[in-house]
Amino acid sequence: MTQEKGKRKKQASLLRIFRKIHRTTGAILFFFFFLTAITGLTLGWKKNSGGYVLPKSYEGSSTELRDWIGFDSLHAIACKIAKDSISPALSLELERIDARPDKGMVKFVFIDGYWGIQLDGATGKLLHIERRRSDFVENIHDGSILDYFFETRNEIFKLIYTTIMGLSLLLFTITGFWLWIGPKRMRQNH
């Protein structure tokens, strides 16, 4: 009987430790969990936002690559449109070029201000100027918004943030499971 009482006491002590870890971690990281949940929901619904979060991809005149003009020419057109239509002060540094042969379209996505320019691949005609809200939300979600703000190239803030949040979620899963199973085990042993 004394051995069983000692085992029960040890389980109760372990349960208190896990509850404290769970509660403290939750209190410290509440804001970040909330932010991750909201941005995750937004990203999950981005294709169903009517073009507000994820801009619609417009279609160009030809899906045949042989009909397209060169990327250097398309890039020059996109830069001119960005300077004329968005801001003369906009940095023309690109985050990426997103070619969509199946849509006959090329997107030039600029780092500065989350702007994108969609051009017809064959004619260079402007199809759409877009604000890349989905990229902004994604950068908040994964912590790389700090890398963007501080202009770091090695994504150190993203790495730190995702490590902390991933380990915290793992810790929450383990302690949460124990907080669920621990009382059941204690009742079984009683």
Q: What is residue 1's predicted lDDT score, i.e. its pLDDT?
A: 54
Query: Do residue 105 and residue 169 come from a single domain?
Result: no
Query: Do residue 121 and residue 150 come from a single domain?
Result: no
Query: Do residue 64 and residue 123 come from a single domain?
Result: yes
Instruction: Please tell me the distance from the alpha carbon of residue 98 to that of residue 113, in angstroms, as a whole number.
Output: 17
Query: Do residue 38 and residue 83 come from a single domain?
Result: no
What average pLDDT does this structure show over 97-119?
97
Residue 100 is assigned to a structural domain of this protein = yes
Q: Count the domains in the chain.
A: 2
Residue 51 is assigned to a structural domain of this protein = no
Examine the fold and report which residue of 131, 156, 173 is the final residue of a domain before the chain moves on. 131
Is the pLDDT score of 143 beyond 60? yes
Q: Are 92 and 78 a contacting pair, CB within 8 Å?
A: no
Instruction: Provide the H-helix boundaries in 45-155.
Output: 71-81, 133-141, 144-150
Confidence band of 188 (pLDDT split at 50, 70, 90): confident
The CA–CA distances, whole Å, from 39 to 34, 125, 137, 138, 160 equal 9, 34, 6, 7, 18
Residue 97 is assigned to a structural domain of this protein = yes
Query: Do residue 121 and residue 78 come from a single domain?
Result: yes
Q: Are 50 and 95 a contacting pair, CB within 8 Å?
A: no
User: Which residues, at least 6 apart from 103, have a Cβ–Cβ distance to it below 8 Å?
Assistant: 57, 58, 59, 60, 63
What single-letter DSSP state applies at residue 62? -
Name residue 100's beta-bridge partners: 105
Query: Do residue 83 and residue 17 come from a single domain?
Result: no
Examine the fold and report which residue of 84, 109, 131 is the final residue of a domain before the chain moves on. 131
* % of the chain with per-residue pLDDT over 70: 98
Confidence band of 67 (pLDDT split at 50, 70, 90): very high
Query: Do residue 120 and residue 164 come from a single domain?
Result: no
Query: Do residue 156 and residue 117 come from a single domain?
Result: no
Confidence band of 106 (pLDDT split at 50, 70, 90): very high
Confidence band of 77 (pLDDT split at 50, 70, 90): very high
The whole domain housing 81 covers: 56-131
Is the pLDDT score of 168 beyond 80? yes
